[in-house]
Amino acid sequence: VATNKWQVELPNVGRTQSDFGLRVTATNKFNQQGTATISLEVVDDYTAPGISVEAKYPINSPVTRVGDRVTIEAKVTDDLSGVFSVRLVEEGAESIFGESPNLALGRQANSDVWKVQNMVAGNVMAGVYALQVAAVDRAGNETIKTVEVKVAEKISSLRIDLSKGWNLISVPRALEKSAVSEVFAGLPVESVRTLIAGRWLEVTEITPGQGYLVKATSDITLAVSFKGYDLSAIPLTISLGPGWNLVGYASRTLTPMIPLTFYLGDDLKGEWLIAYTEGGEQARPQSTSPYVWATDGFPTVTGRPYSEDTSENLPAVELGKGYWIYLTGEGILVP
């Protein structure tokens, strides 16, 4: 094959440790020559890389579930020849992530950190799985480190508390029975409404990602059951228009809570206006984050009530709750 690349394999001629200048000379058919010098360092390296490994789950959760994306993060150092590769051991990786997972960890720029991300396979049972990560240096020395991945039970249902009067709710995933007549069968509920394209509608079916106003005549608990989730299904998209929109928190992995800005994504960035409560007050008077209002107030990432420390009050969305959002233009929500 015609190419301008030449190579040679140098034999192992000893254990001399030193810096060398390796001179390479190229000669053409007219006997004209060009010379270049390559710096070559010979080291006596028998020390394997040092490695620490951590499994990171969505939104700092202590466990993961089917459909979640898990990031394996390794910090790898080597004293002499340098790190050559970091990979997941295939056998353990396939037991969690299914066939043909991403095995090679990529090095993060200007750091000793290597990362790879995979999705927990749909047939994985709850339990603690051992995942091995192998780091190899340029001298061929290898270190294998084990990290545990904790997979939680699948969630198949959700209970939503409703107070007497109007409640703002949503469901995170498609329901086994989605008709309003079946969802609220036998419960003291007078009305189920939503707002779409600026129009109020009486609802006949409950779908994920949409917010619903439900009027109950007494305090009750609504129990809903989910369909099995198809990981290969086309992602849900929700079209939002300028002005007020009623949205819900849709989550295929049923993560209990995530930051609002993470949930709404880049498409809605810059479309915000400040939202106000029914009393005419700003919903988040001291928050620098985008504004959205829920009838029962905002949850916080820390799990504590509203704090004067704005760093603790990043708005978040929770399973079962619905939210008002005011947009200055059209946008697409991709939960």
**How far apart are alpha carbons 79 and 60 in whole angstroms?**
32
* Average confidence score pLDDT of the chain: 80
Higher pLDDT: 247 or 267? It is: 247
Three-state secondary structure call for residue 190? strand
Residue 335 confidence (pLDDT): 75
Q: Would the pLDDT of 216 be above 90? A: yes
Q: How many CB atoms lie within 10 A of CB 237?
A: 11
- The pLDDT tens digits of the residues spanning 154-164 come to 778 899 999 99
Residue 123 confidence (pLDDT): 86
**How far apart are alpha carbons 285 and 218 in whole angstroms?**
32
Which stretch of DSSP H or E encloses residue 69? strand 69-77
Higher pLDDT: 261 or 28? It is: 28
Least confident of 37-51, 68-82, 127-141: 37-51
Domain ranges of the chain: 50-151, 157-333
Residue 295 confidence (pLDDT): 39
- The pLDDT tens digits of the residues spanning 82-140 come to 999 999 999 999 999 999 999 999 999 999 999 999 999 988 999 999 999 999 998 89
Q: Would the pLDDT of 2 be above 70? A: no
Q: Would the pLDDT of 233 be above 80? A: no
Please choose, from the candidates 221, 245, 215, the residue with its C-alpha nearest in 3D space to the C-alpha of residue 330: 245
- One-letter amino acid at 250 equals A
**Strand bridging mode 316-318 / 18-27:** unpaired
**Mean pLDDT, rounded, for 257-285:** 58
**How far apart are alpha carbons 147 and 137 in whole angstroms?**
20
pLDDT band at residue 66 under the 50/70/90 scheme? confident
Q: What is the CATH number of domain 50-151?
A: 2.60.40.10
**Mean pLDDT, rounded, for 192-211:** 91
The tokens for 240 are 């939002």
Cβ atoms of 57 and 64 closer than 8 Å: yes
Highest averaged pLDDT of the listed ranges 13-22, 80-89, 260-269: 80-89
% of the chain with per-residue pLDDT over 90: 39
Give, in degrees to the nearest 5, the angle at Cα 237 between 322 and 153: 65
Cβ atoms of 37 and 22 closer than 8 Å: yes
Residue 230 confidence (pLDDT): 67
What dihedral do alpha carbons 285, 286, 288, 292 form, nearest 10°? -40
Residue with tokens 């978040």: 316
Query: Residue 98: which residues within 8 A CB-CB, separation 6 or more?
Result: 121, 122, 123, 124
**How far apart are alpha carbons 249 and 292 in whole angstroms?**
12
Residue 294 confidence (pLDDT): 41
Residue 60 confidence (pLDDT): 63
pLDDT band at residue 258 under the 50/70/90 scheme? confident
Q: What are the φ and ψ backbone dihedral angles of 182, each rounded to 5 degrees?
A: -95, -40
